[in-house]
Amino acid sequence: MRRYTRLYWEFAKSHMKVMMEYRIDFLIGVFSVMLEQFASIFFVKVVFDHIEQINGWSFYEILFIYGIAATGRSIHQIFFDNLWTLGWQYIRPGKLDRLLIRPVNPLFHVVADRLHQDGFGQLIIGLIILGTAIPQLDLVWGAAEIGMLVIMIISSGLIFVAINLFFATFSFWMIDSLPIVWAVFNMSDFARYPLTIYHKGIRMFLTWVVPYGFTAFYPAAYFIDKSGYKEFALWTPVAAIVCCVIAYAFWNRGLKAFASTGS
Amino acid sequence: MRKYWQIAKGRMQENTAYSAWYWAGTVSAVMRLLIIYFFWQAVYANQTTIQNINLETMLTYIVIAMLLQGFVGGVGNELAENIKDGQVAIQLMRPYDMIFKLFAVDVGSKIMYLIQGTIPMVLIAYFFMDLSFPKSPETIILFALSALIGIWIGTFFDFLVGVLAFWTVNVWGVRVLKESLITFFSGALVPITLFPDWLRIITEFLPFQAMVYLPVSIYSGLITGTEAYMALGIQLFWLVSLYVLVRVIWTQAIKQITIFGG
Amino acid sequence: MITVENLKKEYKLVKRDPGLKGAIKSLFNRKYETKHAVKGIDFSIEQGETVGYIGANGAGKSTTIKMLTGILTPTSGKVTVNGLVPYENRQKNAVNIGVVFGQRTQLFWDIPVRESYNLLKHIYEIPEHEYEETIGMFTEVLNLEPLLGIPVRQLSLGQKMRCELAAAFLHRPSVVYLDEPTIGLDIAVKVKIRKFIKEMNQRWGTTVLLTTHDMQDIEEICDRIIIIDGGTILYDGGLDEIKKQFGQKRVIHFELADKEKFVLPASLDGQVELLPNEEETKVSLSFDHETVKSSFVISEMMSMYEIGDLNIADPKIETIVEELYNKQEQGGKHEEILANS
């Protein structure tokens, strides 16, 4: 574990050096992602200019859900973005072989191969949203609440990672599963709004099958009493751990299958 | 003209295979429809109109806007890739106008997208969401005309963004930037009439509303009568201006290739 | 050091009729076709040996190397490298091996070469002083100094390959697998690379297993060659022995002074073989030098034609290997070839 932490640091240092060399591109990346997020928040704001609440949720409460999703996703985007490229960057051109002949865990290597600059834009905008929403909510914030918020955000990020990892793993059998990963990732858009607005079937799906509900709605619901999900929301970290374990086990299976067919 | 049609046909054939991307796109589009439907149902739960727009008109607007937005992209991505891998220099030696060639490719993929992507989606949307149809044949003709112009404005704009690859490295970032600008200012998410006044005024001076908002408003009856013809006039203005800009910038870019070798 | 026993690798390929109909049919009724890439091979390599592993495209070379490195799990048979089974202890095995895949880079694409080496230092946990010493030496031998600050994607093929080699030897592995390290390179770089490999082998006793289509590589680097074809080993032995055993073929290239239609002299009929030649005025004759004397061929030719120039080719490993492949293709089993020649 300590070895991998140090190794990650070395990888990250190299990436940062490169990023600093292309400063303009770094800024374009950060700025464009911020604008992208800002556009979708502004949409919600425009709608709320004309109404009071959606399904009992005020503008700032929805903003809060949004903020948790954006911050959680930034963890995924900054550190684990390379999972998207497993098929076309590693398996198709045979570059995965390069990782398999090194004395490190291949998943670690894939993940460490990239640090995604645009994710920093996501992080900044996520924190800004949270900073805007939280003071407007009728909550008491103590150390325990802040600690819980951090845990919830990390869990949210891990669920994003686990879901992407799980579906990227299909690349071991079909060379590039990017379309699947992309389609599944788009489901995370559901989680921007209170799950209670959806049909029951969709709610169940986002809770038990592809658990994007735990990336935003449930963590936010923990802090908002009237939601009625306060207790259920406590399962968020457990959901994150279970997702990661399942995804990693599936990855290992995929890797094994890859070793017997060799692409 | 004929060779460009052949190029377009070639692209249509390439796109006929029902690929994984096709299914992924369809699934994503259905999910977006679901989100739109439930979101606006919830918004209208406590009121019957917002700015004089009822739920039916609103859903019609949003769904048509979403479908139309699928067409306002273009060949910018392909152009940017061609620039990055040096293909442009080779393409320039071929006996066709590269801009027309790219547009022909684009027309090819859009026709396939219309058949494979949009038509099934329209059927699903009308079947499950009871959207409204335009009141008169005149409206339908005006919408078709307006949508066509809007799509070409989007195509020209996309081309301009693609050309930027001559000068920037982070092509992906620029694309995200462009997507966000269009999503927001074109009125693809929400009718521009709902915007706060200051923003609406800014939007009226930008080309983006001519891509989605104007045609869809004609369709859903938010813009009628002489206003509709005015809207077409605005669109034509943008269409011509952007095309001139495309030609001017492309000439500059080619100079860049021939002098610096790309 | 490396032992391979009865190693086999089979791939199952889905057999599918063309078109949409075929695709749908294959969904319900899958027919598999088994491809035997490696059909039970045995060999063992001692520490410090330099072995050329050669064969035509698709002969099973890459599959073998993938199994030796642990990337691929064999269908049956056994491999051990330094006492480890590579595909079972892939990461442990990886510490002791270095690999160059000629067409793919092992380095990090976007970052400068120096940074790449630094990362490899941490990945292989190379002690600082050892790393400094190694890198210093490589920089000198391979002339890397001007390349260190450049990102890999901006290097030319030859520059990349020099950096690649240094990366493979950086952690002083006991075995290095080189899969076509000289492919597509110009002669000057090839020479440099061969010298480097040879030197590493002598200095550290590194075991080298090399695949290549360039027989010059083999002649200059390897003491021993293993020839594989169709998944089985055709020949395994010393480089000198193979020359003695198979090297009776001689080729003489003649350049005719006049542009006339060439007809083989009657006295040489059945004794020599006319090799195809692109230029009209050039004629190449191949013969067995145990039964036919070179002087005889030359004098017969000179009596019939006016010869501008001639040149007797050495029995090159290249021609030997070509012969072996050809015979194999003509249908004989490899045992027969070895017995007959």
ipTM of the complex: 0.89
- Number of independent structural domains in chain B: 1
Reported as a single tens digit per residue, the pLDDT across B65-75 is: 999 998 988 88
CB A186 to CB B31 under 8 A?
yes
The CA R_g of chain A, rounded to the nearest whole Å, is: 19
CB distance B15 to B8 below 8 Å? no
CA distances A255 to A86, A241, B250, Å, are 12, 21, 47
A183 contacts B28? CB cut-off 8 A: yes
Residue C106: pLDDT band (50, 70, 90) is: confident
For residue C254, what are the β-bridge partners? C283, C310
> Which residue, among C110, C114, C118, C179, would best test binding to A if mutated, counting the most A CBs under 10 Å from its CB?
C110
Size of interface A-C (CB pairs under 8 A): 70
Cβ neighbours of B35 in A, within 8 Å? 189-190, 193
In this complex, the chains that touch B, judged by 3 or more CB pairs closer than 8 A, are A
Q: Which two tokens stand for residue B3?
A: 């060779």
Q: In whole numbers, what is the pLDDT of chain C averaged over residues?
A: 84
CA-based nearest residue to C242, from C329, C326, C319: C319
Query: In percent, how much of chain C has pLDDT > 90?
Result: 40
- Across residues B197-215, what is the average pLDDT? 93
Judged by DSSP in three states, C92 sits in helix
What values do phi and psi take at C306, rounded to 5?
A: -90, 115
Cβ–Cβ < 8 Å for A125, A34: yes
What is chain B's alpha carbon radius of gyration, rounded to the nearest angstrom? 19
User: What is the rounded distance in angstroms from the CA atom of residue C167 to the CA atom of residue C134?
Assistant: 10
What 3-state DSSP class applies to A94?
A: coil
Task: Round to whole Å and give the CA distance between A254 and A173.
Answer: 7
Asked if residue B3 lies in contact with residue B97, where contact means CB atoms within 8 angstroms, the answer is no
Strand C282-288, strand C76-81: pairing: unpaired
Residue B173 has pLDDT above 50, yes or no: yes
Paired tokens of C23: 């695709």
Strands ordered across the beta sheet of C232-238:
C97-101, C175-179, C207-211, C50-54, C224-229, C232-238
Burial of A195 from C-beta contacts in 10 A (0-12 / 13-18 / 19+) = buried
Give, in order, the Cα–Cα distances in Å from A171 to each of A210, B43, C150: 19, 40, 32
* Tens digits of residue pLDDT in B223-260: 988 999 999 999 999 999 999 999 999 988 888 776 65
Residue with the bigger pLDDT between A263 and A241: it is A241
Please give the pLDDT value at position C308: 82
DSSP C144-166: -GGGTTSBGGGS-HHHHHHHHHH
- Give residue C339's pLDDT band: very low, low, confident or very high (50, 70, 90): very low
Residues paired with residue C309 on neighbouring β-strands, in sequence order? C255
Instruction: Choose the closest CB to B184 out of A25, A32, A39.
Output: A39
Interface test mutation site (partner B, options A21, A33, A37, A54, max chain B beta carbons within 10 A): A54
Q: Which pLDDT does position B262 carry in this prediction?
A: 44
DSSP annotation of A83 reads: G
Q: Which two tokens stand for residue C93?
A: 């095995």
| Chain B residues touching residue A190 (CB < 8 angstroms) | 31, 34-35
Where in the sequence is the domain holding B56, given as residue range(s)?
Answer: 2-260
Write the DSSP string, A188-248. Answer: GGGGGS-GGGS-HHHHHIIIIIS-GGGGTHHHHHHH-GGGS-TTGGGGHHHHHHHHHHHHH
Kindly report, residue by residue over C155-206, the tens digit of the pLDDT: 888 899 999 999 999 999 999 999 988 888 889 899 999 999 999 999 999 9
Q: A43 contacts in B (CB within 8 Å)?
A: 184, 189-190
Residue C333 binned pLDDT confidence (cut-offs 50, 70, 90): very low
- Residue B177 in this model has a pLDDT that exceeds 50: yes
How many whole angstroms separate alpha carbon A152 and alpha carbon A218? 9
Nearest to A97 among C11, C71, C110 (CB): C71
DSSP string, chain B: -HHHHHHHHHHHHHHHS--HHHHHHHHHHHHHHHHHHHHHHHHGGG-SEETTEEHHHHHHHHHHHHHHHTTS--SHHHHHHHHHTTHHHHHHTSSS-HHHHHHHHHHHHHHHHIIIIIHHHHHHHHHHH-PPPPSSHHHHHHHHHHHHHHHHHHHHHHHHHHHGGGT-S-HHHHHHHHHHHHHHHTTSSS-GGGS-HHHHHHHHTSSGGGTTHHHHHHHHTSS-HHHHHHHHHHHHHHHHHHHHHHHHHHHHHHHHHHHH--
End-to-end CA distance of chain C: 32
- Of A61, A86, A91, nearest to A219 by C-alpha is A61
Cα–Cα separations (whole angstroms), residue B54 to B41, B46, B107, B209, C45: 11, 12, 35, 21, 81
Q: Which of B62, B52, B70 is nearest to B116 (CA)?
A: B70
B257 vs B111, more confident: B111
* pLDDT value of residue C316: 66
Residues A6-60: pLDDT tens digits? Answer: 999 999 998 888 888 778 878 888 888 888 888 889 899 999 999 989 988 999 9
Domains annotated on chain C, with CATH: 2-6+42-243 (3.40.50.300), 248-314 (3.30.70)
Instruction: Give the Cβ contact number of residue C137 at 10 Å.
Output: 15
DSSP A57: B
First-last CA distance in chain A: 30
**Domain around A157:** 2-261
- Across A136-161, average pLDDT: 92
- Give the pLDDT score at C315: 63
Mutate to test the interface with B, among A31, A35, A46, A193 (most CBs of B within 10 A): A46
pLDDT tens, position by position, B17-41? 667 788 888 889 899 999 999 999 9
Backbone phi, psi, residue A167, to 5°: -80, -25
Structure confidence by residue, pLDDT tens digits, B128-140? 887 888 878 899 9
Q: How far apart are the first and last CA of chain B?
A: 28
pLDDT at A234: 92
**pLDDT at C170 (0 to 100):** 94
Give residue ranges of A with CB < 8 Å to any C CB: 3, 6-7, 10-11, 14-15, 17-18, 93-95, 97-98, 100-105, 113, 259-262
What is the rounded distance in angstroms from the CA atom of residue B132 to the CA atom of residue B59? 9
Question: How does strand C282-288 pair with strand C272-275?
Answer: antiparallel
Q: Which two tokens stand for residue C42?
A: 């045995």
Q: How many domains does chain A have?
A: 1
Contact C197, C227 (CB under 8 A): no
Burial of B238 (0-12, 13-18, 19+ CB in 10 A): buried
